[in-house]
Chain A
Amino acid sequence: MDGLDDIVEEFLVESHENLDQLDTDLVALEQEPDSRERLSSIFRTIHTIKGTSGFLAFGRLEEVTHVGENMLSRLRDGVLDLTPERTSVLLRMVDTVRSLLASIEATGGEGGVDVSAVVAEISAAMEDRSVPAAVPSPAPAAAPAAQDVVEAPVAEPVAEPVAEPVAAEPVAAAAVVEAAEAVVEAVVEAAAETVQEEVHEEHADEAHDEHAGAARPEGQGGQQGRRAVADSTIRVDVDLLDSLMLLVGELVLTRNQIVQYVGRSTDTDLVRASQRLNLIASELQEGVMKTRMQPIDHIWSKLPRVVRDLGLQCGKTVRLEMEGKDTELDKTLLEAVKDPLTHLVRNSVDHGIESPDRRRAAGKRAEGVLTLRAKHESGQVVVEVADDGAGIDPSRIGAKAVERGLVTADQLSRMGPQDVLQLIFLPGFSTAAAVTNVSGRGVGMDVVKTNIESIGGTIEVESEPGRGTVCRLRIPLTLAIVPALTVECAGDRYAIPQISLQELVSLDAEKAANAVEEVGGAPVYRLRGELLPLVRLTDVLGLTSDRHDGHVVIAVLRSEGRRFGLVVDRVINTEEIVVKAVGGQLKAIGLYSGATVLGDGAVALILDVQALARRALRTETAERQEAREAAARTVAAETGRQRMLLAAIGEGRRVAIPLDTVTRLEQVRTDSVERVGNREVVQYRGAILPIVRLDRHLGAYGTSDREVLEVIVYSDHGRSVAIVVGEILDIVDGGAAVRSDIDDLGLLGSAVLGDKVTELLDVRAAILAADPAFYTAPVPTPSSTAALLEV
């Protein structure tokens, strides 16, 4: 029976591929019900499965596909119209076919899968529109032979003159097999042989037809095309690829070792050979990695169906858009991402996108749009699930988190909206008011997060109330070989995956003494104006540093949106490491994500940066930083919608000031500037106006010998200050700016405005520099309100 088994296996592989295509086609068909091309493609798929199942004597499979084919042929001929009900029935048929195939795969037989319900449903769906009486719809439990009779008048007039007899023959053969169930084996073998011969003959006929060039149905041509593609590829056992990958990993390690030894050698031939080895090993590694790469479309192709079914179930219309289908990533990772991604998509349809009524009320199109995006970005794959739904309301999330006891109200009050959103990833958090069929399956966002992190990835969520939500996954390209930084701490070496590394800071003893400060007992470093909490690796690991010269080496790491500095003794180098699993005893420690063998053969532990951050960052430090970042983000979010005044302050620096903090633009004569104590003031509309020179405030040195000063007057609650800038440049829309948190004293960050990097002014700080009492003191004189009124 070996021959037959092979045939069955091939049938299964082919059918599974076809079914995935079918799902996509059916959903697409709903969008364009008149597409004959799609209908033909669907018809062909079902037809192929039917034909082969008859040939292989899978009676029930044949029965289901047969009625399905009947319906499809009528849809194609325009006798029936495609309605959502009919699509659903067809999709259900696909499901039944799938479970039959699964059963065949598992047990070799059709098992206990019941098909009569689906058959009845399809028949009913065909009849709800007036069906011509001349075409009898098949009875649910009709014998294959009877179906054969039914089929002929229905399908044959259709444009499949060549393919049809192929299918019909096996059906007859199958009927024979079924009749003689007692002697199955012998008969099947015989039938298989004869039918195979027949099929060969039919193929020969097809070939003749092709030569004749007669008006062939386009479907046949399509099949030929597929076969050509199939010839250029081979199926390879994944286990084989896995072991190849392991070997390449070892090769890379050995290569590292050799390159390291040869580095000390002076033998030019040896050096040349090792360079060649280096190159070849890298290319081989790349090549083997490529064999394991699959386009993300492999898991995306199932999602149109998920979205459609769920949309119907929730009474929503959702259009699924996909960008970057061809983005490839490692097969293992692809499998690991599948469930989390599906969950995110379900979440978006269920919770994100609103019902059509509510969407219309909010002034949006009734049809929601769910966008999947995938792209490569700095050695990672970034996958986004974005919807244009209602967005996530941070206040609701916050309230829920407090109610669940996940955070205290006090903690919550100090969190920015962005941080509040991340609370949805905490275990035990679920906002679904009611447990629906969709959500409430026990899989929460925390599980999604755990799954993503277990493959070395990260997840973050962004949401704008009323505009939609974006979930962003960052996934490493491959698990096996990762670039890492090796560092030394207390005489041992550790590896830090580059994915978490942002930059390295090295401070000599003198600088370190000043730059590393203590805040509430916790060490911090001022990194370009921002406080970076420091974690000493020796403290975390309970070791004693062997570095006594006062030098401080900081690896700036990023974990879950927070930055922190890991103080290590020395940085060794960066190298590609092969991640090896560690035993259970070490996993339990929760600080190491694995181990690796370094170039010199020594074993090094790989630090789990996420766990390290969670463990080492005191909550207060983290909270302070979060609050700071949140404040900066809030401002950034505000500026996103704002128009900004651009001003030059000398040294080529440009500063952006939110336009709504600008009351007037004035020019004052330099010689009218007077002094009160150590402050500069100017008389302006009957009041004394304190001045802040922005160039000095921000540490730039502008030219101060101008005759006329450009002044931005800001007034609030009857008080005014004058901000002196070098030159007013422009007013721009801050919306499309690229931002970063690179900042300095007196700035909120920087952004790209009008193609140049522009500093975002911390207006409050600037005003306080001019008038420390600006926000606290009462109105000095009523007359100065004049400035406000005259705008």
Chain B
Amino acid sequence: MTTPTDTPTRATSGQLATFRLDGDLYGVEVEHVQEVLRSQVLTRVPLAPPAVAGLINLRGQVVTAIELRERLGRPPRPAGTDAVVIVVRLHGEAVSLLVDSIADVVDVDAADFEAPPDTLDGQARELIRGAYKLDGTLLLALDVQKAVGA
């Protein structure tokens, strides 16, 4: 299993689970993804960093939910739309990411990999390993480790 922190900018081939966020396509390594859930009841955590959306009851386990829009410096999700929860497992601890919608699992080739586009702003740039050029769209590879380190 490859950990993204070891090779933050290096291209890797393999499968990415992709999801949409504010119109863009992102991907995380499938091996990190434990499960994907429909919207969940969130328990808010007063005084927590803004990216911490709350706590989720995942079959008796308490899991922190990170609002990825906030992490990536995007505007808040429009009212009336529910977030989709991606549960990732890092170092044995489950953390969940709130995204707009889930998309396919995509095979990526290291040959298509490029460094993050210069247009990305500072905050988001930190969390993006780079981009895979797919047919007609760009797939931004998320550094899960950094994304949950709110």
**Interfacial residues, chain A to chain B (CB-CB below 8 A):** 250, 253-254, 492, 541-543, 580-583, 585-586, 589, 591-592, 595-597, 601-605
Contact = CB atoms under 8 A, between A and B. Distances in A.
Given A586-B52, A605-B45, 4 more contacts: A582-B55, A585-B49, A585-B64, A603-B57
A602 B62 CA distance: 10
B61 interface: yes
B48 A589 contact: yes
9 contacts: A253-B60, A254-B60, A543-B46, A581-B62, A583-B95, A586-B52, A586-B64, A589-B47, A601-B41
Contact of A541 (B46, B64, B150): B46
B5 interface: no
A492 B52 contact: no
Contacts of A589: 45, 47-48
B128 interface: no
A591 B46 CA distance: 9
B45 A586 contact: yes
A543 B47 CA distance: 9
A597 B41 CA distance: 12
Interface string B53-73: 011110011101000000000
B44 interface: yes
A602 B47 contact: no
A623 B28 CA distance: 53
A591 B61 CA distance: 20
Q: Give 4 nearest A-B pairs by CB, closest first.
A: A541-B46, A603-B43, A583-B64, A580-B62
Contacts of B55: 582, 595, 603, 605
Contacts of B118: none
A595 B47 contact: no
Contact of A597 (B48, B52, B57, B64): B57
A595 B60 CA distance: 11
A603 B56 contact: yes
A581 to B, nearest CB: 8
Contact of A582 (B57, B64, B150): B64
A250 B64 contact: no
Contacts of B48: 585-586, 589
Contact of A492 (B43, B47, B150): B43
A582 B62 contact: yes
Contacts of A601: 41, 57
A605 B52 CA distance: 14
B94 to A, nearest CB: 9
B62 to A, nearest CB: 4
A253 B57 CA distance: 12
Interface of B: 41, 43-49, 52, 54-57, 60-62, 64, 93, 95, 150
A580 B62 CA distance: 7
Nearest to B63: A583
Contacts of B95: 583
B45 A597 contact: no
B46 A580 contact: no
A555 B21 CA distance: 44
Contact of B52 (A585, A591, A596): A585
A250 B59 CA distance: 9
B62 A596 contact: yes
A586 B57 CA distance: 16
Most A CB within 10 A of own CB, among B41, B48, B64: B48
B43 A602 contact: yes
A700 to B, nearest CB: 47
Nearest to B93: A583
Nearest to A250: B60
A118 B13 CA distance: 61
A543 B48 CA distance: 12
A603 B47 CA distance: 17
Nearest to A489: B46
B122 to A, nearest CB: 21
Contacts of B44: 492
Contacts of A596: 62
Contacts of A592: 45
A585 B48 CA distance: 7
A581 B62 CA distance: 8
A542 B43 contact: no
Contacts of A585: 48-49, 52, 64, 150
A261 to B, nearest CB: 16
Nearest to B49: A585
A114 to B, nearest CB: 40
B41 A602 contact: yes
Nearest to B66: A585
A492 B41 CA distance: 12
Contacts of A591: 46-47
Contacts of A580: 61-62
Most A CB within 10 A of own CB, among B46, B64, B95: B46
A671 to B, nearest CB: 69
Nearest to B55: A603
Nearest to A543: B46
Most B CB within 10 A of own CB, among A580, A586, A601, A603: A603
A783 B42 CA distance: 81
Given A580-B62, A582-B62, A585-B48, A605 B93 contact: no
A631 to B, nearest CB: 36
Given A583-B95, A585-B150, A595-B62, A542 B57 contact: no
B149 to A, nearest CB: 8
Contacts of A582: 55, 62, 64
Given A583-B64, A597-B57, A542 B46 contact: yes
Nearest to A594: B62
A592 B62 CA distance: 13
A338 to B, nearest CB: 26
A541 B43 contact: no
A492 B55 CA distance: 12
A582 B93 CA distance: 10
A499 B52 CA distance: 29
Contacts of B60: 250, 253-254, 597
Contacts of B61: 580
Nearest to B61: A580
Contacts of A253: 60
A585 B70 CA distance: 15
B26 to A, nearest CB: 21
A611 to B, nearest CB: 11
A490 to B, nearest CB: 8
A253 B49 CA distance: 29
A331 B61 CA distance: 23
Most A CB within 10 A of own CB, among B43, B61, B95: B43
Contacts of B57: 597, 601-603
A598 to B, nearest CB: 9
Contact of B43 (A250, A254, A583, A605): A605
A754 B41 CA distance: 59
B55 to A, nearest CB: 4
